[in-house]
Amino acid sequence: MKRKQTIMPLIAVAMLAAVFGSQPMTTSAQDKDNNPPLNLARDGFFYIGGKTTQIKGKTYMAGQMYVEYRIPAKQTHPYPIIFVHGGTRSGANWTGTSDGREGWAQYFARRGYAVYVVDQPGRGRSAYVPEVYGPPRFANAESAQQRYLQQSKYNLWPQAKLHSQWPGTGEIEDPASHQIIGSFLPEVAFPKSVEFTHAAMVQLLDKLGPSIMLVHSQGGPMGWLAAEARPDLVRAIVAVEPNGPPGRTVQFVGAPDWFKDGGVELPYGLTPLPITFSPPVKDPAEIKWVREAKPDAADLVTCWKQEEPARQLPNLQRMPIALITAEASYHAAYDHCIVKFLNQAGVTPTWIKLADLGIRGNSHNMMQEKNSDAIAEVIHQWLAKTLPSVR
């Protein structure tokens, strides 16, 4: 049966009230008694995927993905969490914060989940091979300031002025800024990066078995594609502001116009690589896009949607999905378009808008900000409700 193809305006408040209650969220990690020493049964790493290649008579390896794991001594959840970082970052984005606290990897390991943190191929401890990957893409400090260090200063989108959670001034020479800027890494250009990471991710799922995908930003397509390739192994997707919006990218130009349509980066709506639609799609040009007549609100992007009748995404209909959106992020202006696209395709995600839970002032880089534990607790509670623990 075809699912209802609307967002339902109160879906976030109504569904989340049942999970979290009506009071602003707090985190148990704020109570040191609930954050004891991390007791692990195993801790280590391995590489998966990739193949050897000959370059000027010498042998190198490319396409491999570094995987770091933490297995708690008391594992109370049946499915491990695979953490996939975003653009120009590495798995370090999940294992610590810019002000020296533990990251989400430790948070979930402490709560009984086995966690697997990856460095995408060509990133961090997954070595870069230029002859295979091509010229690298680099990040710079000024872009970071505009996007999440000092976004209220640049004010390129309407919600930018709400930012309050970065643990520092955002100035380039600030110690917290040095931590985040120092973690930037050259990366394989998009969408080639998706091809290499997806190949390794499928092998990782085959090795681990049923798992939870927790993805962020440029890592977002890895969640959708993993669920596409191994729908029986992906038990849930937690998409923390994944790549978007569908249809066309958005350029942020500041007041008074705020938004300008960009080019096509995700020809299949959620990913740059083929994904199973019903009716089938042999070429992304077969997906017909229409631009809505007007935005849902003055501070929101006008969405591009499928022309009706919309093609369905049967594999993504098979697992629970949570989409996390921060109040001050540039994603706050367009994540509703991702939800609309999923709804049209018969997929009903739980859209968690953090501000609805009293968690305010966060940027796109929320797992590095002052209240990162509070956001981790939101995800923890959603997973506990969706995929209950076992003894």
Q: Tens digit of pLDDT for each residue in 352-377?
A: 999 999 999 999 999 999 999 999 99
Label residue 112 left, alpha or beta by phi (over 0 means left) and psi (-120 to 50 means alpha). left
Cβ neighbours of 174 (radius 10 Å): 18
Q: Comparing C-alpha atoms, which of 192, 166, 187 is closest to residue 97?
A: 166
CB burial string 291-322: b at 16+ within 10 A, e below: eeeebeeeebbbbbbbeeebbbbebbbebbbb
- Which are the catalytic amino acids? 217
Cα 168 → chain centroid: 23
pLDDT in tens, 204-228: 999 999 999 999 999 999 999 999 9
Beta strands at 234-242 and 321-325: parallel, antiparallel or unpaired = parallel
Q: How far apart are CA 277 and CA 268, in angstroms?
A: 9
Parts of the chain with a pLDDT under 50: 1-15, 22-31, 391
Structure-block tokens of residue 103? 């990251």
Cα 162 from Cα 329, distance rounded (Å) = 9
Q: What is the pLDDT of residue 25?
A: 44
Instruction: State the Cα–Cα distance between residues 267 and 260, nearest whole angstrom.
Output: 18
Tell me how far CA of residue 329 lies from CA of 36, 148, 165, 240, 351, in angstroms. Answer: 32, 8, 11, 11, 15
| Max Cα–Cα distance, the chain, nearest Å | 64
CA distance 268 to 287: 8
DSSP string, 162-225: G----SS---TTSHHHHHHHHT---BPPTTHHHHHHHHHHHHHHHHH-SEEEEEEETTHHHHHH
- pTM (whole model) above 0.85: yes
Tokens at residue 341, please? 């696209």
pLDDT, residue 38, reads: 93
Q: At residue 320, what are phi and psi to the nearest 5 degrees?
A: -70, 145
Task: For 105-136, give the DSSP string.
Answer: HHHHHHTT--EEEEE-TTSTTS---HHHH-SP
Could you please report the per-residue DSSP string of 241-294? EES--SSS-EEEEETTTEEEE---S-TTSS-SS----BS--SSGGGS-EEE-SS
Residue that the structure tokens 């990690």 belong to: 29
Separation of alpha carbons 264 and 243, rounded Å: 12
106 vs 38: CA distance, rounded Å: 8
Q: What element of type H or E holds 14?
A: helix 11-20
Domain boundaries, the chain: 11-32+39-273+304-386
CA distances from 312 to 194, 287, 323 (A): 22, 11, 19
Give 11-32+39-273+304-386's CATH code, choosing from 3.30.2310.20, 1.10.4190.10, 3.40.190.150, 3.40.50.1820.
3.40.50.1820
Q: What percent of the chain has pLDDT over 90?
A: 90
Coil, strand or helix: which one is 22? coil
pLDDT of residue 24: 43
Residue 21 has what pLDDT? 52
CA distance 180 to 190: 21
Tell me the C-alpha distance between 354 and 25, whole Å: 9
